[in-house]
Structure 1
Amino acid sequence: MWKQVPKKELEKRKVPIEQLRTSTPPEAFPCETTEQIEPLKEGIIGQDRAVHAMEFGLKIKKAGYNLYVAGPPGTGKATYTQAKAKQAAKGKPTPKDWCYVYNFLHPDHPLALSFPAGEGREFKARMDTLLQDIEREIRKTFAGEEYQKSRRERMQNFEKKAQERWKELDELARELNFSLERTGEGGIATIPLLFGKPISNEEFNRLPEVSRQEIKEKSKRLEQQVTESVRQIQLLEKEVEQEIAQLDKESVRHALVPLFRPVIDEYTDEKVQKYLREYEYDVTQNHGFFKEETGESNPMARLLQRNEENNLLRYKVNLLVDNDTLSGAPVVFENNPTYYNLFGRVEYRSTFGTMTTDFTMIKPGALHMANGGYLLVQIAELLRNPLSWHVLKRMLKTESMRIENVSEEHGLIATSGLKPEAIPLDVKVILLGSPYIYHVLSELDEDFPKLFKVKVEFDTDMKKDKRHYHEFAAFVRSYCEKEKLLPFHRSALAALLDYSTRLAGDQRKLTTNFHNLSRLLVEASFWAEEAGAAIVVAEHVHQALEEQEYRANRMDEKMRELIEEGTIMVDVAGEKVGQINGLAVLQTGDYAFGQPHRITARTFIGRQGIINIERETSLSGQFHHKGLLILSGYLAGNFAQDKPLPLSASITFEQTYSRIDGDSASSTELYALLSSLSDIPIRQGIAVTGSVNQFGEIQPIGGVNEKIEGFFMVCQAIGLSSEQGVIIPHQNVKNLMLRTEVVEAVRAGQFHIWQVRTIEEGIEILTGVCAGTADNHGGYEQGTLFGQVSRRLAQMSSSIKEDTADLVIDVDAQAMQKLIESDKEDKG
C-alpha cells in the first residue's frame, strides 16, 4: 500500500491567488486624464544608468571617449541618443567651414582651407567675383590704348629691323647680279640674271665654264647670306615675342594689384594668403586663359573650347562643408554607412571617351558634415561594410580625414588620381547596437576598447514605483501630443502599466520596451475613436490587446484544435505510467504562446543509460541534451550509492517534428522516468515546467505565463475538471502576470497552480504518493515512490549480474568446443 501525501500538504504548495497577478489601481495616478499632467521632459524613463553614462560620454572631450549605446530594440535608445546629442551640440561652438582649392604647385594634391562658420560661402562668392573681375580687367588691359601702343612700338621696331635685313640682302643680290624670290613654302630662291633678266637652264649651259663657275660661287655666297639673314630675323622674332610676353605679364600684374591686394589683406590666415598669392602669380603666367575669343568657326576649335573653360576651374572654390545655417555643433545620423557615404568620394566625368576629374568634384561624407560635433551610426549597418569600419577606426586614431576612392584603397594596380589634403578630425562617434555585438568587438577587435571607452547600456526593465508611475503618465502625455492621440484616463494608464509588467516578466518591474507600448497607445486610441469616445479608458486598452492577439494567434488556435480533436495526443485527465505533459513556448513573429507536449519515458534493463530520442535523430539542441545528462547524475546520486545503475531508458517528446532545445523540461522528463521506474502513474491533468540540477533542486525557467495559459486554454477547450493545473518553479512566482480568466478559474477551484522547490515535492503532487527520504545507508522507506524505484533498480542490478555470468559460461563452452575440433583436424 502506497503512503499517500496529506491533502493539507499539497494545498500548501499552491500559489496564493493574490500572487498570480498584480494589478495597478487607477488611484495610483494623481490625475484623472493625461491632459492634467506635464509632458515628459527627459524623453526617457527608467534608464538612470544609461542617462548617467550618456552625460559623461557627451561631456568628456578626450580622445578615444567615443560612445557605444547598447540595448535591445524598442527601448528608445536611438531617439534618446539623438535628442541628447542635439542638446549637447547646442552648447558647443559651430565648427569651421572647409573648402578645397587648386594646388598651383602640386595640381594632384588639392589644398584644404578652413574658415569660420559661414565665411566659407563668402569666400567662394568672393573668389567667383574675383574671377569675373580678373577676366574683365585682363581683357580691358589688352584692349587698352596704352597696351596697344606699347605692343605696336615693339612690333614696328621688329619690322624695321627685319626690313633693314631684307634691304641689305636685296642690295647684295643686285650687286652679285641675282634676284631673290619667296617660294610658296616660306623659303627664298636665288635666281641669277643675264642682262637684267633671269637666265634659263639652256642659257646657263651655253655659257663658258668660267662664267658658270663664277655664277655658282656667287650663288653659294648669296645663299649663305640668306641663311644668316633668316636666322637673324628669327632671333628678332623671338626677341619681340619675349618682349611682348613680358609686356603682357607686366600689364596683367599691374591690372591685378588693385584686385588682389584688398582680398589678401582681408584674410589673415597665412595659408589663405599663400593661396591667394599663388593664385595671383598663376594668373599672370596663364593670362591667355582670359583673352577674348577670335570668333573662329573651326569645329575643332569649338570642341577644344570646353577644355579652355576647364582651365578656369582651377580658380574656382569647392565649398566642401558649409556650416552657415548651423547653430552649435552638427549632429549627423548616417543610416546607410557605406564607404562613400561616410568618408566622401572623388567623382569623375566622361571627356572625349576618358574619365577625368578635378578638385571641384570632391564630395563630402557624413564624417565631414559631423566634424566638430556628433556622428551616430548603427553598428550592425556599419559592420555590413567592413571597409567602412576599418577606415573609421584609422581616421579616429589619426584624427584626420583623407578622401580616397575604394579602388585606390584596395586596387591591385596603382592609379593616378587626386590626393586631397587631409582635414583634421574632431568628432565624437556614437555607435548604436546590441550588447552582443559590444561583447564580440571587445573580445575580437583590439582597437575597439581603445576608441570606444564609454558604454551606455539601456536596461530592459525598471522598478515599479511611484516615480516611474508619474514618469510613465508623462510619457503617455508626450506621445499622445506627438501622434495626436486621444487623452488617456487613469484606468487606461493602470491597464497600460499591467501590460508593461507582463512584458517585463516581473511583478516588481515595468518594461522599457516602449515600441510595444507605443503601438498599444495608438491602437487603444483608435478603438476609442471607433467607439465615439473622447477619452481612452481601460476597456479600450483591453480591446486593443485582444485585437492584437486575434490578428496573430491563428497558429495557436490551429494547434489547440488539433489537440482538441485528438490529432495531437495530449491527455488532460486520468493517470498513466511514464507519461507526462510538458510545456513549451512557440514563437511566430512577435506572438508567443504556450503548448503542452506529451513526454514519455520507458525504462528497461541495460547499460546504455538514458537515450534521448531527439538527440539520436538530430532534433535536440545542446541545452536539452545537457538537461538529460543532469538526470543521469541525479539518478546515480540518489540510487547508485551502493550498487551500479543498470538502467537503460528512452525519453522523447511525442509528435514533435522540429528542433527542441532548452532545459526547461528536464524536471518533467525526470518525473516521467521516476514514474516508469516505480510503475506509479502520473496525473495527466497536471502539466509541468522547470529545470533541475543534479541535487534535485528545481530551477526557474522563462515564458511561465505563456506556458500556464497555453495549458489552461487546452483544458478549457476539452473541459475543466477541477483536477487540472500546472507545476512551476517557486522562483517563477514573481514572474506571474496571468490573464484574468485564468486567475478567476483558479479562484473558482477549476484550475490549480503549484510551486515546488525540489523533485520530491513535484512527484508527490503528480502521484499523490510520498517521495520518501533516504536513511543513513541510502535506503528508502517501503510504500514510498523512491523506495519503489530503489527496489526496481536493485532487481535490475541482480538480473544483469546473472546475465553477465551466463554470458561468460557460454563464451567459455564455445571456446572449448572450437579447441577440441581443432585438435581432431590436426590429428587427421
Structure 2
Amino acid sequence: MSELKPLAPEALYQSCDTSRLDFETTAELEEMKEMLGQDRARKAIHFGVGIRAEGFNLFVLGPSGLGKLTLVRRLLEQRAGQELRARDWCYLNNFTSPHKPRALSLPPGQGRRLRDDVKQLVDELGGAIPAAFESDEYRTRRQEIQEEFETRQEAALAELQKEAEAHDISLLRTPAGFAFAPMREGEVLTPDQFHELNEEEQQRVEAVVSTLQEHLQRILLKIPQWRKQVRDKVRELNREITFSAVGHLMEHLHETYVALPEVLEHLKELEQDVIENAENFRKMAESPGEEEEGKGLRGSLQHRYEVNLIVENADHGEAPVVYEDNPSFQNLVGRVEHVAQMGTLVTDFTLLKPGALHRANGGYLIIDARRVLTQPFSWEGLKRALFSRQIRIESVAQFFSLVSTVSLEPEPIPLDVKVVLVGDRLLYYLLSQYDPDFDKLFKVAADFEEHIDRTPEGTRSYARLIGTLAREHSLLPLDRAAVARAIEHGARTAGDSERLSTHVGNIVDLLREAHHYASEAGREVITRPDIQTAIDARIHRSDRLRERIYAEIQRGTINIRTEGVEVGLVNGLSVIDLGNFAFGQPSRISATARFGEGEVVDIEREVEMGGSIHSKGVLILSHYLAARYARDRPLSLSASLVFEQSYGMVEGDSASVAELCALLSALAGAGVKQSLAVTGSVNQHGQVQAIGGVNEKIEGYFDICNARGLTGEQGVLIPRTNVPHLMLREDVVAACREGRFHVYPLDTVDQAAALLTGLPAGEADSEGRYPEGSLNRRVDDRLDELYHLRLELMEHKHDSGGETS
C-alpha cells in the first residue's frame, strides 16, 4: 500500500481568478433580469400559472433567502399584465331578507361609479320626496280624500237623523258619542217628561230607539272600514307622488346601467323600497329643528341603500397579485364587523369586510405556507374555499357550527384565483404525506436550487448578480477583487469549491456590511478587504461559544491531546451548528476491547445520548470487524466505544472511521498519534465515505493545534470524496503550504489506521493471513487469542460438567 500523501495547498482552496473577470467595477456589468440558477423553478411557475385546470395551484419550496418570493412576484406580475383586469365586487342590501346580503359583480371601475351614483340618488331623494309631498296638488288630492270620507259619514248620519225624526226621535251628538232622545213639538223631552208618558208610548219610543240604535251601530261599524279606505287611498296617493318624484331620478340610472341587468334589478328593488319607505324621507325634512334626529334619519337612509364596495379594480390595469403576510382566517375569507348600539353588538351588510381571497379574485394570491399553517383554522378555510370555488364570509364560530345565533349570511362570491404557497421543503413533504387534500389542490411544485455550478459561465453570472444586487439596494459598486472574494465566499457558504450558493439574502447582507466598512473608510468602491472585514466581523459576532469551548480545551478542562501517542484513543471531529454560524469541535473517542461474545457496545446509545444514525455507524463497523477478521470463527470480543466528555446528544456517522480506528488500536495494542484527527463515515467494506461540515472540522482542529503551537506533525484525515468541498481559511492553507499542518485524503480505513498508528495496515494473502508486523496481523492475532481462550473456557466447562453455551 502506497504511503498516504497530504493534499497540496491548491486543493484546499479554489480561489477566483480575477483575470477572468472582464470588468473594473460592477457598475459596468449588465443588470441580471432573471434569477440565477432557477430555470427549473421558473419553468414550473410558468406552467403552474399558465394551466387553468382545477387544483393546479403552486407550492414554491426551498430554504428562505433564495429569493423565492421576489421571483414569484416578478413572474406573476408579468403574467398579470397580459390578463384582463379582475371585476369589482359589491355587497348590497337584500330588502326582503336583510340578513342575506347580495353579492354583485361589476366590470372594473363600475363599482365605485355605482356606489357614488346611489349615494347621490339618496341625497336627491331626500329633497325631491319631501318637496313632492308639500305641493298644492298633493294637498288638494289628500284633502279630497279626507272630505270624501267626512261626506260619506255625514250622509249616513243625516239619513239616520231623518229616520229618527220621522218617529219623533232626535239624534244627539255628545262628548261620549251618539244618543237618541224622544221629541215633542220639536223639543227633546227630559227624563221626567219621558216618564210622564203613558206606558204604551214609552214602549213605542223604546222600540224605535232600539231599532235606531241598531242602525247607528251598523254605521259606526262602517266608519273604521271607510277610514281604512281613506288610508289606502292616501297610501296609494303617496306611492303615486313618490313614484313621480323618484321616477325621473331613477330614469337616468336605468339608462346608465342598461347593459348590466343585475344592477337594473337592484335599482328596481331599491326604487320599490324607497316608495314603501317614503315616510322616512318626509320625516327627515320635517325635523329641521331637531338637527341630530335629521342627521340620524339621513344616515340611516344612506346606510340602507349604500353600495358596499369590497373589491375595486378600477386603478389596476391588470389582474391582481396579492401577497398576504398575515393569513389569519378572517384576513383570508373576510369578516363581519359589529358596532355597539345601546349596549348590544349589531351588524349589517355595510360591515362586511373583504379578505385576501376577495382582493386576489381573478388573479393570484401568494401566502407563506408556515404562517397559514400556524394560524388557527386558516388552512382549513383556504382549502374549503378552493374546493368549493366560493368565498363565503363567516366567523370561525359559524365555520365550525359553534353558535346558533342569527347573523349575516352573505351570498358567497365565485372564486377564480391561483394560490401560490411559499415555504420550506419540509413543509411541502409533510403536507404531501399527511394531508390527503394537499395533492389535490397544489399539484405544481416549484423547487428552488440552493447552488449553481462554479463554471466560468456561472462565475460571470454570479458577478452580474452581485452587481445587480448592489444597484438594487443602492450600494457602492465592487471592484474585481471584491467580487472575486464574494464568489469565493459563495463557494464556502455552499460548502463546495465547485458550486456557488444562490442564497440571495446572505449575499445582500454581505454586500451591505461591506458597503458600511467601505463608506466608513471613505472609499467609492467596495474592495476585497471590505468583503473580508465583513466576513470576519460576522463570524466574530457569533463565535462567543466557540471561544469559550476552545479556551476550556487550552486550559485542559476539556481533554484534547495534540501530541504524543495513546492506545485506543482517537481525536474525532464534530460540528456545532448555531444557526447562522457553525464551528468544528474536536472530541476524544475511546475504545476498549476484551474477551466476550462478539458485542460492540455503543455507550452513547446505551445511555440514550446517541442518535439512530450514530448507532447505525457503530453497527456497521462492528459487522465490518466480524466480516474481516472472523469469517470462519466466532468473534470472541466485547468492546465499548464512547465520546469522552460529551454531555449532549451525539448524532451522525461521521465519527465511525475514528471509532473503528480506536477499536483497532485497542485490539492491536498499537498507539495512535494524537497529533492527528479523523473524520469520515465507513461502510461494511472498509471504504471511507463523505461527511458534512468538512471545512469547519478541519479549521476547528487547526485552531486548537495553532493555539498550542504547530509542530508540523499535526493534521486531519478526511474522506477523499470531500476534497472537492474544501474551501479552507487562508491561515489554514498558509500553514499547510509551509508544512506546519496537513490534510490527508482517505479512501479506506486501512489508510487511516496505518497513518494513525505508524504501522503498515497489511493486505491478506490468498490464505487470508496478514503479513508479520502489520496492524491487521496484530488485530487478527488478538482476536485469535480471544477465540482460543473461549474454546478453553468451553472445554473447561465441559470437563467440569458445567453447561456449555
For residue 28 of structure 2, the aligned residue among 6, 12, 36 is 36
Deviations 1:122-141 (A, max 9, x none): 11111111222233222222
How well do the aligned residues superpose, as a CA RMSD in angstroms? 2.6
State how far apart, in whole Å, the 2-side matches of 1:205 and 1:635 are: 144
State how far apart, in whole Å, the 1-side matches of 2:112 and 2:37 are: 45
Gaps of at least 5 residues in structure 1 are 814-828
Shift of 1:108: 3.0
Shift of 1:204: 7.6
Shift of 1:121: 0.6
Aligned partner of 2:495: which letter?
A: G
Shift of 1:178: 5.1
Deviations 1:615-657 (A, max 9, x none): 1221111111111111111011011111101111111111111
Matched, 1:637 2:617: no
Q: Is the 8 A contact 2:357 2:365 kept in 1?
A: yes
Q: Is the 8 A contact 1:173 1:180 kept in 2?
A: no
Q: Which residue of 1 aligns with 2:746?
A: 756
Q: Which residue of 2 aligns with 1:167?
A: 158
Matched, 1:704 2:691: no
Shift of 1:278: 2.2
1:730-745 to structure 2, matched below 5 A, reads 730-745=720-735
- For this pair of structures, how many residues does the alignment match? 800
Matched, 1:362 2:352: yes
Q: Which residue of 1 aligns with 2:94?
A: 103
Matched, 1:256 2:250: no
Other structure's SS at 2:314 match: coil
Q: Which residue of 2 aligns with 1:415?
A: 405
Shift of 1:306: 4.8
Aligned partner of 1:153: which letter?
A: E
Q: Which residue of 2 aligns with 1:816?
A: none
Q: Which residue of 2 aligns with 1:347?
A: 337
Q: Which residue of 1 aligns with 2:70?
A: 79
State how far apart, in whole Å, the 1-side matches of 2:47 and 2:224 are: 79
State how far apart, in whole Å, the 1-side matches of 2:391 and 2:780 are: 76
Shift of 1:251: 2.2
Shift of 1:345: 1.4
Matched, 1:93 2:62: no
Q: Which residue of 2 aligns with 1:49?
A: 40
Q: Which residue of 2 aligns with 1:680?
A: 670
Matched, 1:285 2:269: no
Shift of 1:398: 3.0
Q: Is the 8 A contact 2:182 2:194 kept in 1?
A: no
Shift of 1:94: 1.2
Q: Which residue of 2 aligns with 1:472?
A: 462
Q: Is the 8 A contact 2:12 2:726 kept in 1?
A: yes
State how far apart, in whole Å, the 2-side matches of 1:651 and 1:206 are: 141
Matched, 1:528 2:518: yes
Aligned partner of 1:87: which letter?
A: Q
Aligned partner of 2:561: which letter?
A: D
Q: Is the 8 A contact 2:88 2:110 kept in 1?
A: yes
Q: Which residue of 2 aligns with 1:817?
A: none
| Structure 2 CA distance for partners of 1:661 and 1:182, relative to 1, 3 Å | farther
Matched, 1:136 2:147: no
Aligned partner of 2:58: which letter?
A: L
Q: Is the 8 A contact 1:408 1:415 kept in 2?
A: no
Aligned partner of 1:801: which letter?
A: L
For residue 788 of structure 2, the aligned residue among 795, 798, 808 is 798
1:763-774 to structure 2, matched below 5 A, reads 763-774=753-764
Shift of 1:101: 1.3
Q: Which residue of 2 aligns with 1:153?
A: 144
Deviations 1:317-370 (A, max 9, x none): 111111111121111100111111011112222333333222111111111111
Deviations 1:161-184 (A, max 9, x none): 222233344455565545534446
Matched, 1:324 2:324: no
Which moves more between the two structures, 503-512 or 698-707?
503-512
Q: Which residue of 1 aligns with 2:235?
A: 245
| Structure 2 CA distance for partners of 1:163 and 1:722, relative to 1, 3 Å | same
State how far apart, in whole Å, the 1-side matches of 2:242 and 2:12 are: 94
| Structure 2 CA distance for partners of 1:87 and 1:668, relative to 1, 3 Å | same
Other structure's SS at 1:114 match: strand
Deviations 1:512-538 (A, max 9, x none): 012111111111111112222222111
State how far apart, in whole Å, the 1-side matches of 2:646 and 2:132 are: 95
State how far apart, in whole Å, the 2-side matches of 1:75 and 1:294 are: 65
Other structure's SS at 1:652 match: strand
Q: Is the 8 A contact 1:101 1:317 kept in 2?
A: yes
Q: Which residue of 2 aligns with 1:20?
A: 12
For residue 560 of structure 1, the aligned residue among 544, 550, 567 is 550
Aligned partner of 2:436: which letter?
A: E
State how far apart, in whole Å, the 2-side matches of 1:153 and 1:413 are: 56
Other structure's SS at 1:292 match: helix
Shift of 1:473: 2.5
Shift of 1:805: 4.3
Shift of 1:443: 2.5
Aligned partner of 1:379: which letter?
A: A
State how far apart, in whole Å, the 1-side matches of 2:55 and 2:602 are: 52
State how far apart, in whole Å, the 2-side matches of 1:274 and 1:755 are: 83
Matched, 1:66 2:57: yes
State how far apart, in whole Å, the 1-side matches of 2:568 and 2:578 are: 31
State how far apart, in whole Å, the 2-side matches of 1:494 and 1:764 are: 40
Aligned partner of 1:535: which letter?
A: V
Q: Is the 8 A contact 1:179 1:192 kept in 2?
A: no
State how far apart, in whole Å, the 1-side matches of 2:802 and 2:497 are: 69
| Structure 2 CA distance for partners of 1:220 and 1:29, relative to 1, 3 Å | same
Shift of 1:458: 0.7
Shift of 1:599: 0.7
Matched, 1:606 2:596: yes
| Structure 2 CA distance for partners of 1:192 and 1:24, relative to 1, 3 Å | farther
Q: Is the 8 A contact 2:8 2:737 kept in 1?
A: no
State how far apart, in whole Å, the 2-side matches of 1:656 and 1:812 are: 43
Deviations 1:254-288 (A, max 9, x none): 33332223322322122222222222223223322
Aligned partner of 2:305: which letter?
A: Y
Q: Which residue of 2 aligns with 1:715?
A: 705
1:619-658 to structure 2, matched below 5 A, reads 619-658=609-648
Q: Which residue of 2 aligns with 1:434?
A: 424
TM-score by length of 1: 0.92
Which moves more between the two structures, 616-625 or 159-168?
159-168
Other structure's SS at 1:291 match: helix
Matched, 1:576 2:566: yes
State how far apart, in whole Å, the 1-side matches of 2:685 and 2:540 are: 43
Deviations 1:59-90 (A, max 9, x none): 33333322111111111111121122122222
Shift of 1:756: 0.8
TM-score by length of 2: 0.94
| Structure 2 CA distance for partners of 1:528 and 1:216, relative to 1, 3 Å | same
